Structure 1
Amino acid sequence: MRTWSVRFRLAAALLVPFTVSLAAPRTLPAQERFTLAHTRRVVGVGSPTLSADGRSAAFVVSRPNYAANRSESQLWRVALPHVTPELLTPGRTSVSQPQWAPAGRALAFLSPDAEGRNQLWVLPGSGGEARQVTSHPTAVEHFSWRPDGAALAFAATDEEPRKEGEARFVTTFDVGAQDIFLRRTLRPQHIWTVPATGGAATRVTSGTWTLQFSLPPGGGPSPLSWSPDGAQIAFTRTVAPQTGKNDSTQIAVVTVATGDVRALTGNRTFERFALWSPDGRTLAYLQPRDRNREGGFVTEVYTVPVAGGAPRSVTRALDRHILRADWLADGSGMLVAAADQTTMAAWIVPLDGAAQRLPLGDLVLTGGFGADIERSADGLFVFTATSPHRPAELYVMTSASATPQRLTDFNAWAATVAFGRTERVTWRSDNFEADGVLTYPPDFDASRTYPLVLNIHGGPTASSKQGFSALSQLMAADGAIVFEPNYRGSDNLGNAFQAAIAGDAGAGPGRDVMRGVTMLRSRPYVDRTRTVVTGWSYGGFMTSWMIGNYPAEWTAAMAGAPVTDWEDQYNLADGNVNWRYLTGGSPWTEAGRRKLVAQSPITYARNMRTPTLIMSHMEDFRVPPTQALALYRALQDLGVESRFLGFPGRTHNPTDPVMQLERTRLWVEFVKARSGGKVVP
């Protein structure tokens, strides 16, 4: 079962970086440098799933098809511990969420039907033709095998009510707690079951409430978790299908035969991702340490007896923001994953005892907004990860102390490219030790000086890591030292660091970033006169904050999808009122307005004088472009050199490969032109 925490974030923008120390300069042929052409060759590897016997792993491989302007994905399988992978779905171009049947004799996955709606398909484990199991009138969102393998539960959105006559032309709808660009009422999602051989689906739940959901980019949906006897399903529900009510989430259990639903705890907020223990006596779930202040506090794994009792945290001592949690097969503990310093790590956490960290070396776990890692009953691990010089591949560990072995070679081309070295850097800021990732040009020479380019991560509940970062490597290949700072609010340094952003969205994080810049400027190879600040989403917020509060420090800036006005973010974004947990209240109270104005970059627009590129989607529901427009208008009226490039579409990040590449090109070329693009002898 694959789980991710839906963190309170704007969304990190692109890939991430890698690890090293300084060395002698190298002379490199020009063709060996990393270029935009190389990014076209990046293959995605993810969503690994282990068979019950631990002898096979299935996974998804995705590639960009630039001619058709779409991402295409296929299902692959590899025998363990190491056999050449084989393609299972050669005739398909869209496959997701593979899951082995409990007995390991079949694979279920999602793929579109003739109308383009995702349906459930089942493929024999030995290969062959997949059989369509559902023909649901709305798309299947996610699913789970019943423990006996004879049926599956799935989540699907309720159909729109049928209209006849003049009513067909009535398009009014109840807006509620939604974003400014929504054009219809969102319908609830509910649970259905279907035989594994196909046939009529049976509805299990109904009502005006909905299964917990999120709009991408965001964490994956809360899973449907069957009790071991197949009689009940644990799930997460929200009071209404409105994005602004996603703080009102609660774990619950439904009896499949009757549809009776009951809550497991007395809490009604921020519970997610219930997972049934192997013995059927306990549910594990994710919840922030202080559920009333999600904006900065780490998410922990809690357990609660199914028969009733008080929940308890099993990861408090770990003090990390848990992104993934799975039960061990014997129920003795959990496999968890979380960001830790500048990597994504995994631990075995006993229900009673100290956590054991897996020795992943320089590998950084990957997978959506979490980590794709699974463990078999006999202790074998399969996961996807990036390494310092390579995009994601599939790896195996035969035990919790074994050395990881790479199973796939889809990104073999990376071995022919001279990438820049990276290292973790640290510095003091207020009462914290902050950290970040530094990427050097591939032919770095400590006797020369280089421009410094900031690539600030989004979120804010995210972090920059020493994995493969296409964006940072492109900038480094153009002759810049790239700095990715983890400011307070980042999820990699524990509860106190993460919580410190609550009510201090800009000033505290701004000090963290500026002190990191000051530390780097003390190095003789950093050109103090050439510093470019950039970022997307919350990174765009931080960029806007830095040019308004430290105006003399920057050569140029790129603010992508920037939050510049917390009042607009509160009123118009899909998260809307939930932003009160980060900023400290509503703008419609006197005290709340003062707080939000003080934390809004647009308040400091009169100080701005940095040449700035602004980019945004013009129907961005996560960060409405009203804020980018305000920043652009302010800079124009103040005579500051500025340009605003808009992208069409209701999305926060480009979703098609052509526009993904175009955004990267615009970003990198702007940085190259404004940083000088050359080293200085």
Structure 2
Amino acid sequence: MAKKRLMKLEDLLAFKLIGRIAISPDGTRVAFELKRADAAENKNFTQLMLADTRSGEVRPLTEAGEHNDLRPKWSRNGKFIAFLSTREKKTSALYVLPLDGGEPHRITDLDGDVHDFDISPDGRRIVYTYQPITERQKLERDGKSEDVQKQATYKHITRLTHKLDGAGFWNGHRTHVWIVSVAGGKPKQLSRGDYDDSEPRFSPDGRRVSYVSNRTDDPDRMFDQADVYVVPATGGPARRVTQAPGSCEGHSWSPDGKTIAFVGSVHKPGDWWKHDAHVHLVPSAGGKPRELARDVDADHLNVTIGDLAGSMFEALPPIFSRDGRTVYFLASRRGATELCARSLSARRTRVAVGGKVNVYAAQRAANADVFALAIGTATNPGDIYIFDAAQDAPPRRLTNVNKWLERVELVEPEEFELSSGGVKLQCWVLKPPGFRANRKYPAIVEIHGGPQAQYGYSMFHEMQWLAARGYVVAYTNPRGSAGYGNAFRKCIVGDWGNLDYKDVRKLGDWVFSRRWVDKTRVGVTGGSYGGFMTNWIIGHESRYRAAVTQRSVVNMETMFGSSDFGHVIVSEIGGPPWKGRDKMLRQSPIKYVEKMRTPLLIIHSEQDLRCPINEAEQLFVSLKYLGREVEYVAFEGESHGLSRGGRPQNRLERLRRICGWFDRYMK
């Protein structure tokens, strides 16, 4: 057997990543998104592929190109697949691909973006959500940038929620539900009003269309509210189904059309942080939702993070069995995201597909209880598996899209447990390939973002590469993380830097006490909330030799007014400023900047709207003014999600900078 090689930096661009999946009605084929990085074009593109569940053969479903093909869905008769694509003028439009031959044909215009859609049970109509673009966007779309420069260019902002990281500023047009024939033609608008609508879905009989919308008196202020609405597929007044305050996403119909399931919680406006997102059921005729699986004290969606995973934080619609008696859903707990099953007549939930896995996509075949799953692990970003719910057997692996990994010496994380303040912390450590206990290694403590997320059985190229470079890498899920119950998650709300810091410090103590770690060469890094904690650590202790803070929170007061989510997380950061200035300052790393003496690299993205770049600039200018060792790298044109979805060359450069900083001080 040939000797395996070490993970390389450039391997980051070799990964092919499976995203959303769609299994054919008879369960014999699976269409799926496959994302790739194009190093030459310095862009990421997504193509649709088709896998045969019997032979395992995988072939392209759509042609690769400088565009993205997304969200494949099968017609109920299996004769065509509909999908979204940016192949024409980079506008997201709806296409239909006949499977008996022929090219995809577009059925929506290019004067707006289609976000989501569904196909009617008879295969004749498609319902979709659509947001028009502005006249300026049309000029830019058509390459007429000179015409734009001749006009006054400005943004007139009237809404509290007026921007979103990764999407930019709101263009002034709402997203509504439309319906059109599969053959194309003139569409009909089904929803209206000064609201945004999402998740259009046909009822099983095709006569009704459901969608999710926040139609409260002030949706921007009451951001955590949403309901399911139902409208006749022929048009008419909408009817509110979920008759209780709370959140709602990822909804689905039962086979008999009598029940709608969704992921969310019942709560008063502003109380979102008190509740995990759980599966609920509500009569489709309307009523108060009831919680289905209270015994699963975890988020019923995927919150397991990685730098390669495809669908984190997107609520998978609950999946009814073919007979409608069982509901399947995802649950993230103790580092894993599992597929759970709850019989409507049972009092307990069982794990259908579990273990040290990250299930991030799932769909049942329309005519059988056969599932297609996208499953990743700590050493594989994800492949498609077939799971037959009627058989007492584990899922069968169908694809191997990153076969080249078989030639790479990957490190399996070692799991261990620490006690901190009366709670048990789940922790992991990656040791360098060829590890020897009688040697001394440099080490890095990694801290995840969120904070309501979890490390676990999801692959990180970053950590594997750092281990291959000779670093010990340790990480944990401190209090405030998801995956360990609602009390564990919400105990740091309005109190960042207390219990969570004690937990991360406990992990640091463990690292510094290992006989195979060089205590003079230990670093710390993290992004977003992990960047906050990195800043907090070096403002409260000086034992780390170097630190890298990424897309971080520095000042809670400025976060409130400048972040796209500032008003959303106001309770989490101790605000608003005019009521909680002292509390916000106490939780702000900038308060402790004079105590920061650890050499620090600041990495941020210029287009980050979640943790705006002024956070990085405040920290850099303060430390530079104080004469500290600090450098600052700002990535142009990137958003908060640089590490996972940024341009390929920027993602590589980010890792070069991180490793280069640690090498400078720790090697």
Q: What secondary structure is seen at the aligned counterpart in 2 of 1:223?
A: strand
Aligned 8 A contact 2:527 2:550 in 1: yes
1:229 aligns with 2:212: no
Tell me, in whole angstroms, the C-alpha distance in 2 between the residues paired with 1:342 and 1:67. 36
- Give the counterpart letter for 2:605 in structure 1: H
Q: What secondary structure is seen at the aligned counterpart in 2 of 1:577?
A: coil
- Give the counterpart letter for 1:149 in structure 2: G
RMSD over equivalenced CA pairs, Å: 2.6
**CA separation of 1:127 and 1:340: change in aligned 2, threshold 3 A:** farther
Name the counterpart of 1:506.
497
1:304 aligns with 2:304: no
| C-alpha displacement of 1:184 | 5.8
Tell me, in whole angstroms, the C-alpha distance in 2 between the residues paired with 1:270 and 1:584. 22
**CA separation of 1:144 and 1:242: change in aligned 2, threshold 3 A:** same
Name the counterpart of 1:249.
226
Q: What secondary structure is seen at the aligned counterpart in 2 of 1:576?
A: coil
Decide which of 159, 182, 185 is 1:176's aligned counterpart: 159
Tell me, in whole angstroms, the C-alpha distance in 1 between the residues paired with 2:224 and 2:380. 37
Name the counterpart of 1:411.
402
Name the counterpart of 1:200.
186
Q: What secondary structure is seen at the aligned counterpart in 1 of 2:90?
A: coil
1:383 aligns with 2:369: no
**CA separation of 1:665 and 1:228: change in aligned 2, threshold 3 A:** same
The within-5 A match list for 1:528-547 is 528-547=519-538
Decide which of 248, 252, 260 is 1:271's aligned counterpart: 248
Q: What secondary structure is seen at the aligned counterpart in 1 of 2:192?
A: coil
**CA separation of 1:632 and 1:242: change in aligned 2, threshold 3 A:** farther
Q: Deviations over 1:216-253 (max 9, x none)?
A: xxxxxx52222122222222113599877632433322
Tell me, in whole angstroms, the C-alpha distance in 1 between the residues paired with 2:552 and 2:407. 36
Tell me, in whole angstroms, the C-alpha distance in 2 between the residues paired with 1:378 and 1:170. 54
1:54 aligns with 2:5: no
**CA separation of 1:258 and 1:421: change in aligned 2, threshold 3 A:** closer
Q: What secondary structure is seen at the aligned counterpart in 2 of 1:511?
A: helix
- Give the counterpart letter for 1:631 in structure 2: L
Tell me, in whole angstroms, the C-alpha distance in 1 between the residues paired with 2:163 and 2:369. 45
Name the counterpart of 2:61.
88
1:261 aligns with 2:230: no
| C-alpha displacement of 1:543 | 0.8
Tell me, in whole angstroms, the C-alpha distance in 2 between the residues paired with 1:650 and 1:242. 28
- Normalising by structure 1, we get a TM-score of 0.87
Name the counterpart of 2:591.
603
1:561 aligns with 2:551: yes
Decide which of 185, 191, 205 is 2:177's aligned counterpart: 191
Aligned 8 A contact 1:251 1:273 in 2: no
- Give the counterpart letter for 1:224 in structure 2: P
The structure showing larger relative contact order (alpha-carbon pairs under 8 Å, at least 6 residues apart) is 1
1:658 aligns with 2:644: no
Q: What secondary structure is seen at the aligned counterpart in 1 of 2:569?
A: helix
Tell me, in whole angstroms, the C-alpha distance in 2 between the residues paired with 1:314 and 1:37. 45
| C-alpha displacement of 1:278 | 1.6
Q: Deviations over 1:107-150 (max 9, x none)?
A: 11111243221111111234542222222410111111112211
Tell me, in whole angstroms, the C-alpha distance in 2 between the residues paired with 1:342 and 1:131. 42
Q: What secondary structure is seen at the aligned counterpart in 2 of 1:580?
A: coil
**CA separation of 1:598 and 1:200: change in aligned 2, threshold 3 A:** same
**CA separation of 1:99 and 1:486: change in aligned 2, threshold 3 A:** same
Aligned 8 A contact 1:616 1:645 in 2: yes
Tell me, in whole angstroms, the C-alpha distance in 1 between the residues paired with 2:280 and 2:566. 28
**CA separation of 1:246 and 1:401: change in aligned 2, threshold 3 A:** farther
Tell me, in whole angstroms, the C-alpha distance in 2 between the residues paired with 1:675 and 1:290. 49
The within-5 A match list for 1:409-448 is 409-448=400-439
Unaligned segments of structure 2, at least 5 residues: 139-147, 302-315
Tell me the number of residue pairs that the alignment of Structure 1 and Structure 2 aligns: 629
Aligned 8 A contact 1:564 1:631 in 2: yes
| C-alpha displacement of 1:289 | 6.2
- Normalising by structure 2, we get a TM-score of 0.89
The within-5 A match list for 1:579-618 is 579-589=569-579, 592-618=580-606
**CA separation of 1:358 and 1:160: change in aligned 2, threshold 3 A:** same
- Give the counterpart letter for 2:250 in structure 1: F
The within-5 A match list for 1:443-454 is 443-454=434-445
**CA separation of 1:409 and 1:271: change in aligned 2, threshold 3 A:** closer
**CA separation of 1:125 and 1:510: change in aligned 2, threshold 3 A:** same
Tell me, in whole angstroms, the C-alpha distance in 2 between the residues paired with 1:388 and 1:161. 46
Aligned 8 A contact 2:560 2:575 in 1: no
- Give the counterpart letter for 1:205 in structure 2: S
- Give the counterpart letter for 2:259 in structure 1: T
Q: Deviations over 1:345-388 (max 9, x none)?
A: 111122242222134444322xxxxx111233533221122234
Aligned 8 A contact 1:474 1:668 in 2: no
| C-alpha displacement of 1:622 | 0.8
Unaligned segments of structure 1, at least 5 residues: 1-27, 212-221, 366-370, 677-681
Tell me, in whole angstroms, the C-alpha distance in 2 between the residues paired with 1:461 and 1:372. 20
Tell me, in whole angstroms, the C-alpha distance in 1 between the residues paired with 2:611 and 2:378. 32
- Give the counterpart letter for 2:181 in structure 1: P
**CA separation of 1:91 and 1:537: change in aligned 2, threshold 3 A:** closer
Aligned 8 A contact 1:296 1:461 in 2: no
- Give the counterpart letter for 1:85 in structure 2: V
- Give the counterpart letter for 2:613 in structure 1: P
Indicate the percent of aligned positions where both proteins have the same amino acid.
Answer: 29
Tell me, in whole angstroms, the C-alpha distance in 2 between the residues paired with 1:180 and 1:392. 28
Tell me, in whole angstroms, the C-alpha distance in 1 between the residues paired with 2:10 and 2:466. 14
- Give the counterpart letter for 1:618 in structure 2: E
Segment of structure 1 superposing worse, 305-314 or 281-290: 281-290
| C-alpha displacement of 1:337 | 1.0
Q: What secondary structure is seen at the aligned counterpart in 1 of 2:199?
A: coil
Tell me, in whole angstroms, the C-alpha distance in 1 between the residues paired with 2:157 and 2:578. 22
Q: Deviations over 1:7-48 (max 9, x none)?
A: xxxxxxxxxxxxxxxxxxxxx97x811111222211112211
- Give the counterpart letter for 2:256 in structure 1: D
Decide which of 385, 389, 393 is 1:395's aligned counterpart: 385
1:78 aligns with 2:51: yes
The within-5 A match list for 1:451-466 is 451-466=442-457
Q: Deviations over 1:242-301 (max 9, x none)?
A: 877632433322223233122223434423233222211112122236554323631111
Name the counterpart of 2:75.
101
